[in-house]
Amino acid sequence: MTTPTVSLYGHWICPFATRVAFALAQRGIVHDEVEVPPSGVRPTGFVLPTEFAEHSPKLEIPMVRIGEDHLADSIPILEWLEERIEDAPLLPDGDAARDLVRERVAWIDRHAFRGMIGVYYGTEPSLVERAADKLRDALVEMDEWLADTDWLAGDEPTLAEAVSIPIYVRLDGLRRLGFSHPLPTRIRRHREQCAQLTGWAAVAWNDAQTDEFVGRLEAFRRKTRATA
C-alpha cells in the first residue's frame, strides 16, 4: 500500500497549528511543511498558497493535505490523521478509552485553551488577571487527572497531550504577559515529561520565538489601548 503524501500548512506562532505539528512529529508521520502565518500576523502583501486558499474555508491555519484530500481545523485534523494513517496512533484501543481522550480534548480546548488565549489577548490588567485565573483553574483540574497516571487520558500520550502542548510550549511567554500562577505539581512534572517526547522537539520555542511572541502581543495591547 502506497503511503499518501502529507503536507501541513501552518506556522510556529499559531497554537492550533502547534497541536498538529506535535502530533505529526510524535507519530513519525513524514510530511512537508508550508509556512502560512495566521491572519493576525500575515505580512502585508503575503500571497496565500493557491491550494490553501482553495481548501481552507476560513483561510486560517492549520490545514493538512493527505494525498488529494484536505482538511482545516486542528481537532478535526487530529482525528482525521488517526483515521487515515495507522502508524503510532494517539487514540487508544477501546471505545471507553477513546471516549475519555475525546472528552478531555474537548475540555482542554474549552477551558484551558480559552484561558491561555485570554491571557495574551487581554488588553487590560483586569482582563488578563481573570484569564490567568481561568487558566490556573483549568490546570488544577488537569492536575487531578494525573493523580493515578503519568498522562492526561490513560497510560501513554494521547491526543490530550497534543491539544495541551501549545500551553506548555509558550509558558515562558505567558508568564511575561501576565500568567503568574505556579504550575500545580503534577502538571509541572507532566510538562517535563512532555518535553522528553519526540514531538516536543518539533514545536519547542527558542528564546527568539518567545521574544517575538511577547513583542507582538505587547504591541497589540499598546495599539488597542491607544485607539480605545
**Own/partner long-range contacts of 97-104 (Cβ < 8 Å, ≥24 apart):** 97/153, 97/154, 100/153, 100/154, 101/153, 101/154, 101/158, 101/159, 101/160, 102/159, 104/145, 104/152, 104/153, 104/160
CA nearest neighbour of 87 among 187, 193, 3: 3
User: What are the pLDDT digits (tens) for 34-59?
Assistant: 999 999 899 999 999 999 999 999 99
Specify whether the CB–CB gap between 205 and 12 falls below 8 A: yes
Is CATH 3.40.30.10 what the domain over 6-84 is classified as, yes or no?
Answer: yes
Q: What is the rounded average pLDDT of the residues 69-95?
A: 96
At 119, the pLDDT band (50, 70, 90 cuts) reads: very high
| pLDDT value of residue 2 | 57
% of the chain at pLDDT higher than 70:
98
Q: What is the dihedral of CA 122, 124, 127, 129, to 10 degrees?
A: 100
Grid cell digits, residue 14 = 499559531
Query: Global pTM?
Result: 0.96
- Listed by start position, the domains of the chain span 6-84, 95-227
CATH of domain 95-227: 1.20.1050.10
User: In this structure, what are the phi and psi dihedrals at residue 180, rounded to the nearest 5 degrees?
Assistant: -105, -5
Placement of cell 484569564 in the chain: 131
